[in-house]
Structure 1
Amino acid sequence: MGSTGARIAIDAMGGDYAPDEIVAGALRAREELGVEVLLVGDPQEIESKLPPKTNLRQVEIVPAEEMITMDEEPLSGIRRKPKASINVAMDLVKNQQADAVVSAGHSGAAMAAALLRLGRLRGIDRPAIGAMFPTMVAGKPVLILDVGANVDCRPKFLEQFAVMGSIYSQYVLGIPEPKVGLLNIGEEDTKGNDAAVRANQLLRENPQISFIGNAEGRDVLSGHFDVIVCDGFVGNVLLKFAEAVGEVMLQIIREELPQGLHGQIGTAILKPNLKRIKQRMDHAEHGGALLLGVDGICIISHGSSQAPSIFNAIRMAKEAVDNRVLHRIQSQYQSIQQESG
């Protein structure tokens, strides 16, 4: 490993704006965060997107012959294309040549590659994708998981998501005792289907987390919870809905501002406020979602990610590496297994 900080492998060919925006975000992260970035993909394409007079000896490009397209079935795609950029990036982490992977490409392929190349952490049955949502409390996001990795979940999986989410919130987000909730259709412990009732019981009995009860849909953005767990089907619907609501709200604000000279003056006065509103609501500000439960740090970014979002995704990866999230999750589960054994 390098001595200048975290080494982050970037899937330079993944995403709607690859490789242009991916390379731009990676170079910014290299300059501002002090990380080493390994740009994985077609060397000629990547080099063509570098700024003029870039010293190629300071930019590490890792060749990859292929890429997984968005219309490919994830598992068959990564098996059929072993030299695809996402596979090569995962291999860098597996072989300890990089500390983390960031990809804005096919999210299903990224998850499949992580599972096949890196494997699950011991004690974890299913990995989960965790995404940060804004809340009504400024500066206090809520971590929702799973938002797409597992369509169906057993109660035990939800319990594991809660433990992993709590560890991430505590050590990366700096929340001393993260408050955990279970997404459900009512506050009472007996609400929901059989799986929800059993999950509620497991969460209440787990001493490793601070479970404060069920969270209804209206509670998700309230700021009362730090971590909310649900299955990936519901979580993904929630994620896409929240993104749409954010875009609608910003559009409404733009349309409702006065027109003409008064509008220009008002907009100029409100510009700092509008910028802060956008920062709180825009998914690009968080950079991506963390794939928790695999034996490596993986950040899955939005397919439409541009340079600022890629920069934030790399920052998120660096924070997970610096705070030894993998080690902490593994240690927690080893202690749980020892206690239960």
Structure 2
Amino acid sequence: MPEGHSVHRIARQFDRNFVGKTMQASSPQGRFAEGAAVLDGREAVSVKAVGKQMFLETEGDLWLRVHLGLYGAWDFAGEILLDPTIASANGRMGQTNQRGTDLDAAILDDAGENSLASIGAPRRTRVHVRMSEQTKGLADEGAQWPPPVVGQVRLRLMTDITAADLRGPTACELQTPDEMLATVAKLGPDPLVGDPAENEERFVRAVRRRGVPIALLLMDQSVVSGIGNVYRAEMLYRARLNPYTPGKQVPEELVRELWRDWAHLLPIGVETGQMMTMDDLSPQDYRAAMASRDDRHWVYHRAGLPCRTCGTEIVLEELGARKLYWCPRCQA
């Protein structure tokens, strides 16, 4: 499932390519035909991401809510104004997948630092890209326009030069402003949305009043927005916190450290497109980590391998119907 950094990246692309423009909307699959008919001909006014959900505002006080869920993805095609913090040197979107990327596709300076943010002015390029958690960005120069419909497209949004196809979302619906606000109100705080101090206090209160294991609380989108399986495992390890510790038994300062760590990691994910959770790497190690998940994480997807710190075998268990990776010694 796409974690929060991916959805923020997708929202940036909508901001650059759709906001301020009149959209054509259709539902090639037919499952969103009525909603597409309502959207058709409206101007996109604004867009925002909160955790794992994106909200696109259109004229007439109407919002499109999209939750990609486990299998959803957006495909962009046409003349795309690339966000300089997302684009790579060969015209592709930065990767949103966790399968690794070629070193040649990563933009790294001589010191091994990610330099996407310093590319300069946004560039226009005719490409085809996919943004989801499980698929690579794809480039297809000189593609047919408008692009042919491929597969089960729930919703196609188009301007005169750009198209975005939505496939397989958990949720795709139209909302009034009040309904949108009610949806957002049910979500936990997102470090990139709202007041930082207030967000931290909301998170601390939500965790400290619950007897639920902290590993479950971090995945509860009403407690905190955007954290999925990868960030959950990595944050708990970075905090050296036993995943089964009830929230109300986690010391308040440690709860605050968890929040601040999430506020630290999320912007890195938005910038790089990778859930990078290892700090202070050498230039060589940073390049390796940007190229491969195997070098990017402390415990996630490392079941049976030795802990990078103590050598104890990393454990894989199931908690809340999701895989949980942790070190039984470092996180005892």
TM-score by length of 2: 0.26
The structure, 1 or 2, with the larger RCO (C-alpha pairs under 8 Å, 6+ apart) is 1
Greater fraction of residues in helix = 1
TM-score by length of 1: 0.26
